[in-house]
Amino acid sequence: MMKKSLAITVAAVLLSACGDKAAEKPAPVVTDTAVEKKASEQVATKLVYPETRQGDVVDEYYGVKVADPYRWLEDDRSEETGAWVKAQNKVTFDYLEQIPYRAQLKQRLQELWNYEKVGVPYTEGEYQYFYKNDGLQNQYVLYRKDADGNEEVFLDPNTFSEDGTTSLSQVSFSKDGSLAAYSISEGGSDWRKIIIIDTKTGKQLGDTLVDVKFSGISWFNNEGFYYSSYDKPQGSELSAKTDQHKLYYHQLGKPQSEDALIFGGTDEQKRRYVSGEVTEDGRYLFIYGAVSTSGNDLYMKDLSKPDSELVTVLDHTDSDTSLLHSEGDTLYFVTNLGAANKKVVIVDAKSPTSENWKDLIAETDNVLAPSVGGGFIFAEYMVDAISKVMQYDMTGKLVREVSLPGVGSSSSLSGKTDETTLYYSFNNYTTPSTIYSFDVNSGKSDVYMASKAKVNSDDFVSKQIFYTSKDGTKVPMIISHKKGLKLDGSNPTILYGYGGFNISLTPSFSVANAVWMEQGGIYAVANLRGGGEYGKKWHIAGTQLQKQNVFDDFISAGEYLISENYTSSDYLAIRGGSNGGLLVGAVMTQRPDLVKVALPAVGVLDMLRYHTFTAGAGWAYDYGTSEQSEEMFNYLKGYSPTHNVKDGVSYPATMVTTADHDDRVVPAHSFKFAAELQAKQAGDAPTLIRIETNAGHGAGTPVSKSIEQYADIFGFTLYNMGVKSLN
């Protein structure tokens, strides 16, 4: 069955169910004209930024010398970098405090955010588990319900730390549900700790496992579990390179120091990412190895025979292949080997290599994401980024199309083989998520839990259009806003994108975006090349020497919004995070005239050195590296945001956002980019950096911090578009 993780569950929780109440309108702001005048004057004059020392570091690539004056900012442990962070935050927050409606935005965000949110339930042992947030709790709480309907708190991460910055990353239960292992993240770090408990008593069993990173937790009976990690790096654990992932087996009752190394300890087995998965019946262990974020080799071990050898299923990384399900010796895999949009195949475990695979659910024109539950396969397809779900029996025979409640995104229908009722959530950009129960035999869906959100979906409209990119490619975009909005080119608009790593942007509800649209804002999401919306070909079309396609798609999306009078350059903002932060950085340096505001978040912004930090080398499949070839170096240098900030150019008003504990995309990317902008900005628009402290790449961010971040982002955006007061 498909594994449940907190990341998946909380995604469903955050998109919680639709309510009937009309949204309350915020009261018109009563502005203090003196404050407004002072703030306007601050915008109209150049800010005084902290002095950022320029060093004399110069690198040479293929005979080309490249200066890196802010290399010292890569040292996240130095006092000088710490002082720089404090000084930058002072300038940024002094500026933000001048925005007259910043507090009103925060208040409205709190009002809309403050409702009970409940996630999709799932069964483990004798209990049904689900995540719930009472409203403004910093972290979602894991509850459980017994057969009589009695509810109790199972794990409350709000008690893990005083400031709410320690989060629950994932929970994994033993087959009978009597034991659980859960991982926690402190301060947003990717490094985790794993704690094992007896689910009946809540008592901790054994010691806490430490220094675990990029890991699942997969139980073998009630005896122990498999997990993955790297050797703790020398130097800074926030930025030092992590390159050799290893799979371990932890046996209950033994110290972590005695954990068995299963895979990844030799030069031959060196992989950047390794994970292990035990089949539902406990018979087989599958081991996945990868050198980048795309493609994996695959091995299996018969756990019923303690001394069994590893069997190679795939000896190459030319596909993304994973176990979907097993029944005795019959294995079900989902793969894009020879099928760019993925398919389901079956094979006998005695001869599992790919030449013996037989198609069970063939590839179609749409991308497949299957799940298993209740003795059926649920094939979810993306049709222009919209969910369509087909139900098959285990022989591959079509049972029915699952009738979804509308146009939008469905979470996976998954569960244990013997369950007859499964649960899923459904939502889109204007409709908060509703949780449905689904009878696997009749195919009937019923509302299981409606949302208590204070948002009326009828107040908004969401429309999918297709625009033409620079090279003639048709690209989908969904545009959402209040009904009755006049398309006169003066609407504040946020254009959001990602465009990478085979990740698809499907419709999802956000309280923050509802607040933005309440104020007359437009929220547009473009499904750029580099993503996974149209399968592997769409992904490849936005990688390495074709990465410019992604930026061209985003630029063309902005030009479409302007040409159709949704907005104009004076009211257009671009936003994206991580790889999307690179997208924003590249577009604002290539087309600074296109937008008024740029919002790059936790971005990959130094393309010549990204692969030297933490797990960055694993992104080479999408980006290539400066060491790969002279051609690749020149291509990366040609768009790397940090290396393409030019003297004498008027850049958009920019607020770079990052976090001091981000060990995925290290904050040095954002530090160096912000320093370049501040040194070279020719216009009067502010170029600020907002650095969240004791936070990471985004996972587990406390609700209180999220609300503050959105208030600052929306306030900065509207203020620099000349908006004087809110609706």
DSSP for 135-166? SS-SSPEEEEE-TT--EEEEE-GGGT-TTS-E
Catalytic residue among 250, 481, 539, 697: 697
Extract the tokens encoding 256.
Answer: 């972590």
Helical ranges in 56-160 per DSSP H: 79-96, 102-113
Where would I find the beta strands (DSSP E) of 39-87?
58-61, 64-67
Type of residue found at 1: M
Q: Give the count of alpha carbons within 13 A of 391, CB side only.
A: 20
- What is the SS3 assignment for 333-368? EEECCCCCCCEEEEEECCCCCHHHCEEEECCCCCEE
Query: For the chain, percent helix, then strand, then coil, each to nearest 5?
Result: 25, 30, 45
The alpha-carbon radius of gyration of the chain (Å, integer) is 25
The verdict on whether 578 is a catalytic residue reads yes
**By the 8 A CB rule, do 129 and 416 touch?**
no
CA 149, CA 127: separation in Å to the nearest integer? 10
Phi, psi for residue 86 in degrees, rounded to 5: -60, -40
Left, alpha or beta for 530 (phi > 0: left; psi -120 to 50: alpha)? Answer: left
Extract the tokens encoding 112.
Answer: 């809309």
**By the 8 A CB rule, do 673 and 603 touch?**
yes
Catalytic residue among 292, 578, 640, 670: 578
Strand pairing report for 597-601 and 572-577: parallel
**By the 8 A CB rule, do 76 and 668 touch?**
yes
The verdict on whether 40 is a catalytic residue reads no
Residues carrying an active site annotation? 578, 697
